Protein backbone atom coordinates (compact mmCIF):
# COMPACT_ATOMS: atom_id res chain seq x y z
CA UNK A 1 0.00 0.00 0.00
CA UNK A 2 1.22 3.52 -0.80
CA UNK A 3 1.54 5.46 2.43
CA UNK A 4 2.15 8.77 0.74
CA UNK A 5 -1.61 8.73 0.09
CA UNK A 6 -3.25 11.14 2.58
CA UNK A 7 -5.68 9.37 4.89
CA UNK A 8 -8.53 10.90 6.82
CA UNK A 9 -7.44 10.25 10.40
CA UNK A 10 -10.47 9.63 12.62
CA UNK A 11 -10.26 11.16 16.09
CA UNK A 12 -11.90 8.70 18.47
CA UNK A 13 -13.11 9.30 22.00
CA UNK A 14 -11.91 7.33 24.97
CA UNK A 15 -15.26 5.52 25.32
CA UNK A 16 -17.02 2.34 24.16
CA UNK A 17 -17.85 3.79 20.72
CA UNK A 18 -14.22 4.87 20.18
CA UNK A 19 -12.89 1.51 21.39
CA UNK A 20 -15.33 -0.39 19.12
CA UNK A 21 -14.29 1.64 16.11
CA UNK A 22 -10.56 1.28 16.89
CA UNK A 23 -10.98 -2.50 17.18
CA UNK A 24 -12.82 -2.71 13.85
CA UNK A 25 -10.04 -0.76 12.13
CA UNK A 26 -7.28 -2.92 13.65
CA UNK A 27 -9.10 -6.15 12.72
CA UNK A 28 -9.40 -4.94 9.12
CA UNK A 29 -5.66 -4.23 8.82
CA UNK A 30 -5.51 -0.51 9.71
CA UNK A 31 -3.34 1.50 12.10
CA UNK A 32 -4.69 3.14 15.26
CA UNK A 33 -2.70 5.12 17.84
CA UNK A 34 -3.92 4.54 21.39
CA UNK A 35 -2.86 5.55 24.90
CA UNK A 36 -1.13 2.96 27.08
CA UNK A 37 0.13 3.28 30.65
CA UNK A 38 3.67 3.82 29.26
CA UNK A 39 3.47 5.90 26.04
CA UNK A 40 1.11 6.19 23.03
CA UNK A 41 1.29 3.05 20.88
CA UNK A 42 0.77 2.64 17.13
CA UNK A 43 -1.34 -0.52 16.95
CA UNK A 44 -1.75 -3.13 14.22
CA UNK A 45 -2.80 -6.79 13.98
CA UNK A 46 0.39 -8.79 14.67
CA UNK A 47 -0.85 -11.67 12.49
CA UNK A 48 -1.29 -9.48 9.39
CA UNK A 49 1.96 -8.90 7.40
CA UNK A 50 0.52 -5.98 5.40
CA UNK A 51 -0.64 -4.17 8.53
CA UNK A 52 2.80 -4.69 10.10
CA UNK A 53 4.50 -3.37 6.95
CA UNK A 54 2.39 -0.25 7.32
CA UNK A 55 3.77 0.28 10.84
CA UNK A 56 7.36 0.09 9.59
CA UNK A 57 6.65 2.37 6.62
CA UNK A 58 4.66 4.93 8.56
CA UNK A 59 7.24 5.20 11.36
CA UNK A 60 10.22 4.97 8.98
CA UNK A 61 11.42 2.15 11.26
CA UNK A 62 14.25 -0.12 10.08
CA UNK A 63 12.87 -3.66 9.50
CA UNK A 64 15.60 -5.10 11.75
CA UNK A 65 13.99 -3.43 14.78
CA UNK A 66 11.40 -5.95 16.06
CA UNK A 67 8.07 -4.87 17.55
CA UNK A 68 6.68 -5.62 20.99
CA UNK A 69 3.61 -7.83 20.78
CA UNK A 70 0.80 -7.11 23.23
CA UNK A 71 -1.71 -9.72 24.40
CA UNK A 72 -4.63 -9.85 26.83
CA UNK A 73 -3.57 -12.58 29.24
CA UNK A 74 -1.07 -15.24 30.29
CA UNK A 75 -2.70 -17.93 28.20
CA UNK A 76 -2.11 -15.87 25.07
CA UNK A 77 1.54 -15.27 26.10
CA UNK A 78 2.26 -18.97 26.44
CA UNK A 79 0.33 -19.90 23.28
CA UNK A 80 2.97 -17.82 21.49
CA UNK A 81 6.13 -18.37 23.56
CA UNK A 82 7.64 -21.22 25.57
CA UNK A 83 6.77 -21.30 29.26
CA UNK A 84 9.47 -21.10 31.89
CA UNK A 85 9.39 -20.67 35.67
CA UNK A 86 10.95 -17.17 35.71
CA UNK A 87 8.55 -15.88 33.07
CA UNK A 88 5.61 -17.23 35.05
CA UNK A 89 6.90 -15.67 38.30
CA UNK A 90 7.55 -12.33 36.63
CA UNK A 91 4.12 -12.46 35.07
CA UNK A 92 2.38 -12.98 38.39
CA UNK A 93 4.29 -10.06 39.98
CA UNK A 94 4.32 -7.48 37.20
CA UNK A 95 1.60 -8.18 34.62
CA UNK A 96 -0.56 -6.50 33.53
CA UNK A 97 1.90 -3.63 33.51
CA UNK A 98 4.93 -1.83 32.06
CA UNK A 99 7.13 -4.90 31.62
CA UNK A 100 8.13 -6.61 28.36
CA UNK A 101 9.69 -10.08 28.38
CA UNK A 102 11.81 -11.43 25.54
CA UNK A 103 10.97 -15.13 25.34
CA UNK A 104 11.66 -18.04 23.02
CA UNK A 105 8.95 -18.16 20.36
CA UNK A 106 7.08 -21.42 19.78
CA UNK A 107 7.55 -22.68 16.24
CA UNK A 108 3.86 -23.30 15.81
CA UNK A 109 2.72 -20.28 17.77
CA UNK A 110 -1.01 -19.68 17.68
CA UNK A 111 -2.27 -17.32 16.50
CA UNK A 112 0.64 -17.08 14.14
CA UNK A 113 2.67 -13.89 14.59
CA UNK A 114 3.81 -12.62 11.21
CA UNK A 115 7.59 -12.85 10.65
CA UNK A 116 8.05 -9.18 9.79
CA UNK A 117 6.62 -8.12 13.20
CA UNK A 118 9.56 -9.76 14.95
CA UNK A 119 12.24 -9.20 12.29
CA UNK A 120 12.42 -12.94 11.63
CA UNK A 121 13.88 -13.69 15.11
CA UNK A 122 13.41 -16.88 17.13
CA UNK A 123 12.66 -14.79 20.21
CA UNK A 124 9.67 -12.55 20.77
CA UNK A 125 9.06 -9.54 23.02
CA UNK A 126 5.67 -9.83 24.77
CA UNK A 127 3.72 -7.59 27.13
CA UNK A 128 0.34 -7.67 28.86
CA UNK A 129 -0.54 -3.98 29.19
CA UNK A 130 -2.59 -2.52 32.05
CA UNK A 131 -4.21 0.51 30.43
CA UNK A 132 -8.01 -0.01 30.35
CA UNK A 133 -8.34 1.27 26.76
CA UNK A 134 -5.67 -1.12 25.48
CA UNK A 135 -7.12 -4.03 27.46
CA UNK A 136 -10.60 -3.45 26.00
CA UNK A 137 -9.16 -3.28 22.47
CA UNK A 138 -7.17 -6.51 23.00
CA UNK A 139 -10.31 -8.24 24.29
CA UNK A 140 -12.52 -6.97 21.44
CA UNK A 141 -9.98 -7.79 18.70
CA UNK A 142 -9.06 -11.13 20.26
CA UNK A 143 -5.70 -10.79 18.47
CA UNK A 144 -2.09 -10.17 19.43
CA UNK A 145 -1.38 -6.50 18.71
CA UNK A 146 1.98 -5.02 17.70
CA UNK A 147 2.35 -1.57 19.22
CA UNK A 148 5.61 0.35 18.94
CA UNK A 149 5.64 3.90 20.26
CA UNK A 150 3.55 6.30 18.17
CA UNK A 151 6.34 8.48 16.81
CA UNK A 152 8.61 8.68 13.79
CA UNK A 153 11.55 6.32 14.19
CA UNK A 154 14.39 7.92 16.16
CA UNK A 155 12.35 10.99 17.13
CA UNK A 156 10.60 12.01 20.34
CA UNK A 157 8.23 9.43 21.79
CA UNK A 158 4.68 10.71 22.25
CA UNK A 159 2.86 10.69 25.58
CA UNK A 160 0.06 13.19 24.74
CA UNK A 161 -2.77 13.03 22.22
CA UNK A 162 -1.79 16.36 20.62
CA UNK A 163 1.76 15.13 19.90
CA UNK A 164 0.43 11.96 18.25
CA UNK A 165 -1.91 14.11 16.17
CA UNK A 166 0.90 16.38 14.96
CA UNK A 167 3.06 13.34 14.05
CA UNK A 168 0.42 11.21 12.34
CA UNK A 169 -2.56 13.30 11.20
CA UNK A 170 -3.27 12.23 7.60
CA UNK A 171 -0.97 9.18 7.89
CA UNK A 172 -2.87 6.65 10.01
CA UNK A 173 -6.50 5.55 10.24
CA UNK A 174 -7.38 6.75 13.73
CA UNK A 175 -6.16 8.10 17.07
CA UNK A 176 -7.89 7.62 20.40
CA UNK A 177 -7.74 10.77 22.53
CA UNK A 178 -7.01 9.21 25.90
CA UNK A 179 -5.19 12.09 27.60
CA UNK A 180 -1.62 11.89 28.88
CA UNK A 181 0.09 8.54 29.57
CA UNK A 182 0.62 8.11 33.33
CA UNK A 183 4.14 6.59 33.30
CA UNK A 184 5.53 8.49 30.33
CA UNK A 185 8.43 6.16 29.45
CA UNK A 186 8.54 2.95 27.44
CA UNK A 187 8.26 -0.44 29.20
CA UNK A 188 11.16 -2.14 30.95
CA UNK A 189 12.42 -4.89 28.61
CA UNK A 190 13.95 -7.97 30.13
CA UNK A 191 15.59 -11.00 28.62
CA UNK A 192 15.39 -14.34 30.40
CA UNK A 193 18.24 -16.81 30.08
CA UNK A 194 18.61 -19.92 32.21
CA UNK A 195 17.87 -18.81 35.77
CA UNK A 196 18.84 -15.17 35.28
CA UNK A 197 17.40 -12.08 33.75
CA UNK A 198 19.01 -9.06 32.10
CA UNK A 199 17.52 -5.64 31.65
CA UNK A 200 17.68 -4.72 27.96
CA UNK A 201 15.88 -1.39 28.43
CA UNK A 202 15.26 0.27 31.83
CA UNK A 203 11.78 1.55 32.67
CA UNK A 204 9.25 1.99 35.46
CA UNK A 205 9.96 -1.51 36.77
CA UNK A 206 13.45 -1.05 38.11
CA UNK A 207 16.38 -3.28 38.98
CA UNK A 208 15.44 -2.80 42.67
CA UNK A 209 11.85 -3.90 41.99
CA UNK A 210 13.23 -7.11 40.48
CA UNK A 211 15.82 -7.71 43.23
CA UNK A 212 13.24 -7.02 45.97
CA UNK A 213 11.12 -9.76 44.45
CA UNK A 214 14.03 -12.24 44.54
CA UNK A 215 14.88 -12.25 40.86
CA UNK A 216 18.62 -12.38 40.20
CA UNK A 217 19.96 -10.09 37.51
CA UNK A 218 22.91 -10.74 35.23
CA UNK A 219 25.11 -7.67 35.01
CA UNK A 220 25.76 -6.03 31.64
CA UNK A 221 29.22 -7.49 31.02
CA UNK A 222 27.85 -11.04 31.16
CA UNK A 223 24.77 -10.08 29.16
CA UNK A 224 26.85 -8.49 26.39
CA UNK A 225 26.26 -11.32 23.97
CA UNK A 226 22.51 -10.88 24.14
CA UNK A 227 21.20 -9.54 20.89
CA UNK A 228 19.11 -6.49 21.41
CA UNK A 229 18.25 -5.27 17.94
CA UNK A 230 17.00 -1.78 17.47
CA UNK A 231 18.63 -0.33 20.59
CA UNK A 232 20.29 2.46 18.65
CA UNK A 233 22.71 4.95 20.21
CA UNK A 234 20.72 7.83 18.82
CA UNK A 235 17.03 7.66 19.68
CA UNK A 236 14.20 9.74 21.20
CA UNK A 237 15.61 12.92 19.58
CA UNK A 238 13.94 16.31 19.82
CA UNK A 239 14.71 18.80 17.01
CA UNK A 240 16.80 21.01 19.31
CA UNK A 241 20.24 19.77 20.48
CA UNK A 242 20.55 18.84 24.16
CA UNK A 243 23.22 19.56 26.79
CA UNK A 244 22.95 17.12 29.70
CA UNK A 245 23.88 17.57 33.39
CA UNK A 246 23.80 21.35 33.10
CA UNK A 247 23.58 23.37 36.34
CA UNK A 248 22.46 26.56 34.55
CA UNK A 249 21.65 27.41 30.92
CA UNK A 250 23.87 29.68 28.82
CA UNK A 251 22.41 32.75 27.11
CA UNK A 252 21.39 30.87 23.97
CA UNK A 253 19.86 27.92 25.87
CA UNK A 254 16.49 26.96 27.33
CA UNK A 255 16.42 24.99 30.59
CA UNK A 256 14.65 21.71 31.38
CA UNK A 257 14.81 21.80 35.16
CA UNK A 258 14.39 19.13 37.82
CA UNK A 259 12.81 21.13 40.63
CA UNK A 260 11.50 24.68 40.22
CA UNK A 261 12.68 26.75 37.26
CA UNK A 262 15.19 29.33 38.57
CA UNK A 263 13.98 32.99 38.48
CA UNK A 264 14.43 34.73 35.14
CA UNK A 265 15.31 31.52 33.27
CA UNK A 266 13.28 30.49 30.23
CA UNK A 267 12.33 26.82 30.18
CA UNK A 268 10.11 24.12 31.66
CA UNK A 269 10.23 22.18 34.92
CA UNK A 270 9.97 18.39 34.77
CA UNK A 271 8.72 18.44 38.35
CA UNK A 272 8.48 21.53 40.58
CA UNK A 273 8.67 19.29 43.64
CA UNK A 274 11.56 17.11 42.32
CA UNK A 275 9.35 14.03 42.05
CA UNK A 276 11.15 11.54 39.80
CA UNK A 277 7.92 9.79 38.66
CA UNK A 278 6.35 13.12 37.72
CA UNK A 279 9.56 13.96 35.84
CA UNK A 280 9.27 10.70 33.84
CA UNK A 281 5.65 11.42 33.00
CA UNK A 282 6.55 14.91 31.73
CA UNK A 283 9.83 14.10 29.94
CA UNK A 284 8.78 13.66 26.31
CA UNK A 285 5.97 16.25 26.38
CA UNK A 286 8.32 18.84 27.94
CA UNK A 287 10.92 18.21 25.22
CA UNK A 288 8.20 18.60 22.56
CA UNK A 289 7.14 21.91 24.14
CA UNK A 290 10.77 23.07 24.39
CA UNK A 291 11.21 22.40 20.65
CA UNK A 292 8.39 24.93 20.04
CA UNK A 293 9.74 27.36 22.63
CA UNK A 294 13.23 27.25 21.08
CA UNK A 295 11.77 28.69 17.87
CA UNK A 296 9.76 31.39 19.65
CA UNK A 297 12.64 32.41 21.94
CA UNK A 298 15.34 31.93 19.27
CA UNK A 299 17.35 29.56 21.52
CA UNK A 300 19.76 27.02 20.06
CA UNK A 301 20.05 24.34 22.75
CA UNK A 302 18.14 22.77 25.63
CA UNK A 303 20.23 22.53 28.80
CA UNK A 304 19.01 19.78 31.14
CA UNK A 305 19.53 19.60 34.90
CA UNK A 306 21.16 16.46 36.32
CA UNK A 307 18.48 13.84 36.99
CA UNK A 308 18.93 11.58 40.05
CA UNK A 309 19.90 8.11 38.87
CA UNK A 310 17.44 6.33 41.18
CA UNK A 311 14.19 4.46 40.53
CA UNK A 312 12.74 5.48 37.18
CA UNK A 313 15.52 8.13 37.02
CA UNK A 314 17.77 5.38 35.59
CA UNK A 315 15.39 5.07 32.63
CA UNK A 316 15.12 8.86 32.23
CA UNK A 317 18.92 9.13 32.06
CA UNK A 318 19.16 6.26 29.58
CA UNK A 319 16.64 7.99 27.29
CA UNK A 320 18.39 11.37 27.67
CA UNK A 321 21.79 9.90 26.76
CA UNK A 322 20.38 8.53 23.51
CA UNK A 323 18.39 11.73 22.86
CA UNK A 324 21.61 13.75 23.26
CA UNK A 325 23.82 11.34 21.30
CA UNK A 326 23.95 13.46 18.14
CA UNK A 327 24.22 16.73 20.08
CA UNK A 328 27.10 15.41 22.18
CA UNK A 329 29.45 15.73 19.19
CA UNK A 330 28.71 19.45 19.11
CA UNK A 331 30.06 20.32 22.57
P1 LIG B 1 9.77 0.19 20.77
O2 LIG B 1 8.87 -0.45 19.79
O3 LIG B 1 10.29 1.52 20.30
O4 LIG B 1 9.25 0.20 22.17
O5 LIG B 1 11.07 -0.76 20.81
C6 LIG B 1 10.92 -2.10 21.08
C7 LIG B 1 12.26 -2.65 21.39
O8 LIG B 1 12.05 -4.00 21.84
C9 LIG B 1 13.19 -2.81 20.20
O10 LIG B 1 13.95 -1.69 20.00
C11 LIG B 1 14.06 -3.99 20.59
O12 LIG B 1 15.23 -3.52 21.20
C13 LIG B 1 13.23 -4.72 21.64
N14 LIG B 1 12.89 -6.05 21.16
C15 LIG B 1 11.79 -6.45 20.51
N16 LIG B 1 11.85 -7.77 20.21
C17 LIG B 1 13.02 -8.22 20.70
C18 LIG B 1 13.67 -9.49 20.71
N19 LIG B 1 13.12 -10.56 20.18
N20 LIG B 1 14.89 -9.58 21.30
C21 LIG B 1 15.46 -8.49 21.87
N22 LIG B 1 14.89 -7.26 21.90
C23 LIG B 1 13.69 -7.13 21.32
MG1 LIG C 1 9.96 3.67 20.44
> How far apart (Å, rounded) are the C-alpha atoms in residues 251 and 298?
11
Helix (H, G, I), strand (E, B) or coil at 256: strand
The pLDDT-based confidence of 194 (bands split at 50, 70, 90) is confident
Q: Closest Cα to residue 169, out of 149, 148, 145, 152?
A: 152
Which of 170, 193, 212 is the last residue before a domain boundary? 212
> Residue 232 falls within a domain, yes or no?
no
Evaluate whether 269 touches 260 at the Cβ level (below 8 Å): yes
Q: Closest Cα to residue 43, out of 15, 18, 10, 67?
A: 67
> How far apart (Å, rounded) are the C-alpha atoms in residues 33 and 118?
19
Residue 230 Cβ < 6 Å to ligand 1: yes
Residue 228 Cβ < 6 Å to ligand 1: yes
Which of 212, 232, 260 is the last residue before a domain boundary? 212
Evaluate whether 259 touches 305 at the Cβ level (below 8 Å): yes
Q: Which residues are within 5 Å of ligand 2 (an ion), measured at CB?
A: 149
Range of the structural domain that residue 52 is part of: 3-212
Ligand 1 centre and the CA of 230: distance in Å? 6
Evaluate whether 238 touches 323 at the Cβ level (below 8 Å): yes
Residues 205 and 248 in one domain: no
Ligand 1 centre and the CA of 70: distance in Å? 12
Quote the pLDDT of residue 109. 79
User: Is the pLDDT assigned to residue 3 strictly greater than 70?
Assistant: no
CATH code (residue 142)? 3.90.870.10
**Average of per-residue pLDDT values in the chain:** 93
Of all residues in the chain, the percent with pLDDT exceeding 90 is: 87
> Residue 231 falls within a domain, yes or no?
no
279 burial via Cβ count (<10 Å: 0-12, 13-18, 19+): buried
Residues 158 and 196 in one domain: yes
Which of 212, 232, 262 is the last residue before a domain boundary? 212
Residues 193 and 253 in one domain: no
> Residue 223 falls within a domain, yes or no?
no
Counting the structural domains of the chain, the total is 2
Residues 250 and 319 in one domain: yes
pTM: predicted TM-score of the whole model, two decimal places: 0.95
Residues 40 and 184 in one domain: yes
Q: Closest Cα to residue 99, out of 127, 125, 123, 71?
A: 127
> Residue 316 falls within a domain, yes or no?
yes
> Residue 30 falls within a domain, yes or no?
yes
Residues 197 and 250 in one domain: no
> Residue 217 falls within a domain, yes or no?
no
Q: Which atom of ligand 1 is nearest to the CA of 227?
A: 21
Is residue 111 reached through a cis peptide bond, with omega within 30 degrees of 0 on the bond before it?
yes
Quote the pLDDT of residue 330. 47
Evaluate whether 235 touches 315 at the Cβ level (below 8 Å): no
Of all residues in the chain, the percent with pLDDT exceeding 70 is: 94
Residues 191 and 292 in one domain: no
Nearest-CA residue for ligand 1 atom 2 is 148
Residues 149 and 7 in one domain: yes
> How far apart (Å, rounded) are the C-alpha atoms in residues 76 and 94?
16
Ligand 1 centre and the CA of 131: distance in Å? 20
Residues 66 and 25 in one domain: yes
Quote the pLDDT of residue 220. 62
User: Is the pLDDT assigned to residue 331 strictly greater than 60?
Assistant: no
Helix (H, G, I), strand (E, B) or coil at 277: helix
pLDDT in tens, 214-260: 998 987 655 555 566 667 788 889 999 999 999 999 999 999 999 99
> Residue 229 falls within a domain, yes or no?
no
Helix (H, G, I), strand (E, B) or coil at 128: coil
The pLDDT-based confidence of 59 (bands split at 50, 70, 90) is very high
Amino acid sequence: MNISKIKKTEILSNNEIGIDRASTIIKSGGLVAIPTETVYGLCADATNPDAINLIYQTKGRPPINPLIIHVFDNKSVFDIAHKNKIAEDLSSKFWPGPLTMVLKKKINNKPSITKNAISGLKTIALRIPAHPVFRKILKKCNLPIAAPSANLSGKLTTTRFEDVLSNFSGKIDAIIDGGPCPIGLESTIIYIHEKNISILRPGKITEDDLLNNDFSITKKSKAKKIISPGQLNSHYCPKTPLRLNAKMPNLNELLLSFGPLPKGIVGISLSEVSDINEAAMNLYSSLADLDELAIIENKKTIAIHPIPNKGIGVAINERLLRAAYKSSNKF
